[in-house]
Structure 1
Amino acid sequence: MKETRSAGGTHNVIVGETTIVGKVIASQDIRIDGELEGRLECQGRVIVGANGRIKGDVIAGSADIAGRVIGNVAVSGTLTLKASARLDGDVSARRLSIEPTASLNGKCIMADDSDV
């Protein structure tokens, strides 16, 4: 896993051609351009790039998905599904944004702070 600095601080990157198997816990933002097979818990923002894949549940402060997620996603803030996103799993979020051509196959619960 590569650690980089952005204007907002430090974040982690799982680059393309990389596969991680197991549970990942991140206190900072994380970007997935490779593959993760396992649970992801992130206090910050999760970004799944167009070529990124997650097979497992995601719990985060917020998430922007452009790639593929097979698993349930729970965010305490905003979940954004970009046009190229495909999410197969249930969603729990305070706010949900879905761009045209994105795919969501699962149940959606619009939660308040106590539910996420």
Structure 2
Amino acid sequence: MFSDKKTRRMATSETSSQQNTIAKGTVITGDIISDGDFRIEGSVQGNIKTPGKVVVGKTGIINGTLQSANADIEGKFSGKLLLSDTLSLKTSAHVEGEAEVGKLAVEPGATFNATCLMKGTAKSLSNESKQPQQSSQVQRSEIK
């Protein structure tokens, strides 16, 4: 009875720490949902959703929506990136579409043709922009 529980716990932790690999030459059409990380060297035509990390290798291609915590891109991506943490674009990366990220790291040579929204800094910028407006309104009332 106790050994069954241990086996189940070990199987659960092993599953979440394993990395899914889509090999070069493999084409997947459709949506992928997983708890594990991904390494993509092949082609995915569809949406990928995982709470982990996705690595798109030099031969990897994604056309669709990628929703994860982190992504390292060396290959090609076209679509919408929804990342709760960091997007890292390597020298050979080619990204087109929309990106909503927490942090962005771009190496020289990477191509990044996308509209980008950085969730973490948007709040602090909006707060800073409100403060100067309030002080300028005070100045106007003093001038009158």
TM norm structure 1: 0.88
What percentage of residue pairs aligned between the two structures are identical? 36
Q: Greater share of helix residues, 1 or 2?
A: 2
Q: 2:100 aligns with which of 92, 104, 109?
A: 92
Q: 1:104 and 1:34 mapped to 2: Cα distance?
A: 21
Q: 1:63 and 1:101 mapped to 2: Cα distance?
A: 18
Q: 2:38 aligns with which of 27, 30, 34?
A: 30
Shift of 1:41: 0.6
Which structure has the larger Rg over C-alpha atoms? Answer: 2
- Higher RCO, 1 or 2 (CA under 8 Å, sep at least 6)? 1
Q: Greater share of strand residues, 1 or 2?
A: 1
Moved over 6 A (4+): none
What CA deviation, in whole Å up to 9, does each residue of 1:61-104 have, x standing for no partner? 10000000010101001000000000011111110000001011
Q: 2:56 aligns with which of 48, 52, 74?
A: 48
Unpaired segments of 5 or more residues in structure 2?
A: 1-15, 124-144
Instruction: Note the aligned Cα RMSD (angstroms).
Output: 1.4
Count, aligned residues: 106
